Amino acid sequence: MANPRIFLSPPQISEREYDLVREALDSNYVAPLGPMVDRFEAALARYTGFPHALALSSGTAALHLALRVLGVEAGDRVVVPSLTFIGSVVPVLYQGAEPIFVDSSAKDWLIDADMLDATLARLAREGRPAKAVIVVDLYGQPCDGALYAAICDRHGAALVVDAAESLGSTLRGRHAGHGAQITCLSFNGNKIITTSGGGALLSDDEALVRRARNLSQQARVPVAHYEHVEFGYNYRLSNILGAIGLAQLETIEDRVARRRALFDAYRDRLGGLPGLSFIPDIPEARCNRWLSVALFDKNVQAGPEEVRLALEAVNIEARAVWKPMHMQPLFRDAEMVGGRVAEDLFARGLCLPSGAQVDDDVLDRICAIVDRLVEAPEAVSP
């Protein structure tokens, strides 16, 4: 009998989700508002330490609203890392703005701070300064919000942190995303917690969140008839999905602990192989290890694609590191600053299965396959 498929990062559902969804249905708040959404927002704010949270239909919607309320308009420039998921970047296009891509740093895989600083200075000199910067907490790596905020302040750009992958990560004891004007989360199906689809916007700034909330509900003016002065979006999270999110969030610390233990196990067992290393540690950070990412040296026996195919052959899902945006046909005319690091991480990285399905037995199977392919032939021959 074939082994059941092991997914990269599948959802994990308990009885608690069923109970809260039933409660939501019984309440008849089957709408994009209701007590479960309110409770989910309060729980998100409490957990992340932000005073204001707004639950939305996706992480992409959260980023779009962030740019809109920060005043990004058609023709504006927005700096984003090239090494990210497309969801970080399409909100720039939704606003008719222009993405300027910047390379990542090999030391933490986050947008290169020095390159960002120099780029913002140059864009200002050109007379078209960047309106905003989106820093992405790649694979859960929490960025130093104070560092990036100082750079952005110097050049008059707003700072958004795309924390879609870093829920549960901390830096110096604080949750990921602090220091930004707005921080965005995603609860898509493969994230560390999920509402099937969903997202949230977090901020210290009550006025920004109030405005985002209004725009997320078709920008209705609060009068008895429907009155509209400007256009908004239908971006609110459903109350039913809020119930799922509330149940999921109760387990976040266990999930972080489990993913971190799995990453440590991969690194202990495979990190000693010649030519194999892992995504770097950030000092004073607790990374949620959303995905465990291995890095293959160029001269190693088998590269990430061979390993991915060997795992796929036994029904185990692994995936390349995000393909950089400046290598995408969609962005062939966009400006790119640097690019060597992003291209290198894409060529050499592999995301290993990181969900709760990876028990000791699955871990043994995965490690045996990687070991067999990567180990030098003289070391395996008798």
Ligand X SMILES: *Cc1c(COP(=O)(O)O)cnc(C)c1O
Buried b (16+ CB within 10 A) or exposed e, 270-295: beebebbebbeebeebbbbbbbbbbb
Q: Among residues 50 and 187, whose Cβ is nearest to ligand X?
A: 187
The label of the residue with tokens 């960047």 reads: 130
Quick one: which of 11, 32, 59, 339 contacts ligand X (CB under 6 A)?
A: 59
CA–CA distance, 334 with 346 (Å, rounded to integer): 19
In the sheet where 77-81 sits, what is the strand order? 52-56, 199-203, 182-186, 158-162, 130-136, 77-81, 98-102, 335-337
CA–CA distance, 361 with 197 (Å, rounded to integer): 31
Task: Residue count of the chain, please give it.
Answer: 382
Stretch that binds ligand X, among 15-23, 45-53, 84-92, 122-130 (CB under 6 A): 84-92
- Is residue 60 part of the contact set for ligand X (CB under 6 A)? yes
Residue 59 CB, shortest distance to ligand X, in Å, is 3
- Is residue 186 part of the contact set for ligand X (CB under 6 A)? yes
CA distance between the termini of the chain: 32
- Is residue 104 part of the contact set for ligand X (CB under 6 A)? no
Beta carbons within 8 Å of 265's beta carbon, 6+ residues apart: 363
- Is residue 58 part of the contact set for ligand X (CB under 6 A)? yes
Residue 377 CB, shortest distance to ligand X, in Å, is 37
Q: Among residues 58 and 216, whose Cβ is nearest to ligand X?
A: 58
Residue pair 190/10 in contact by the 8 Å Cβ criterion: yes
Quick one: which of 103, 108, 144, 162 contacts ligand X (CB under 6 A)?
A: 162
Quick one: which of 11, 145, 199, 339 contacts ligand X (CB under 6 A)?
A: 199
Stretch that binds ligand X, among 3-11, 52-60, 96-104, 214-222 (CB under 6 A): 52-60
Residue pair 12/217 in contact by the 8 Å Cβ criterion: no
Residue 130 CB, shortest distance to ligand X, in Å, is 19
Q: Among residues 21 and 56, whose Cβ is nearest to ligand X?
A: 56
CA–CA distance, 110 with 105 (Å, rounded to integer): 6
Quick one: which of 88, 183, 238, 288 contacts ligand X (CB under 6 A)?
A: 88
Backbone angles phi, psi at 120, to 5 degrees: -60, -40
Residue list 319-378, contact with ligand X (CB under 6 A):
none
- Is residue 188 part of the contact set for ligand X (CB under 6 A)? yes
Quick one: which of 41, 144, 165, 317 contacts ligand X (CB under 6 A)?
A: 165
Binding mask 117-146 for ligand X (x = CB under 6 A): -------------------x----------
The label of the residue with tokens 């110096």 reads: 172
Q: Among residues 285 and 300, whose Cβ is nearest to ligand X?
A: 285
Alpha helices (H) in 49-107, listed in sequence order: 59-69, 90-94
CA–CA distance, 127 with 259 (Å, rounded to integer): 46
CA–CA distance, 46 with 212 (Å, rounded to integer): 19
- Is residue 164 part of the contact set for ligand X (CB under 6 A)? yes
Stretch that binds ligand X, among 85-93, 225-233, 240-248, 299-307 (CB under 6 A): 85-93
Q: Among residues 60 and 82, whose Cβ is nearest to ligand X?
A: 60
- Is residue 81 part of the contact set for ligand X (CB under 6 A)? no
The residues binding ligand X (CB under 6 A) are 58-60, 84-85, 87-88, 136, 162, 164-165, 186, 188, 199
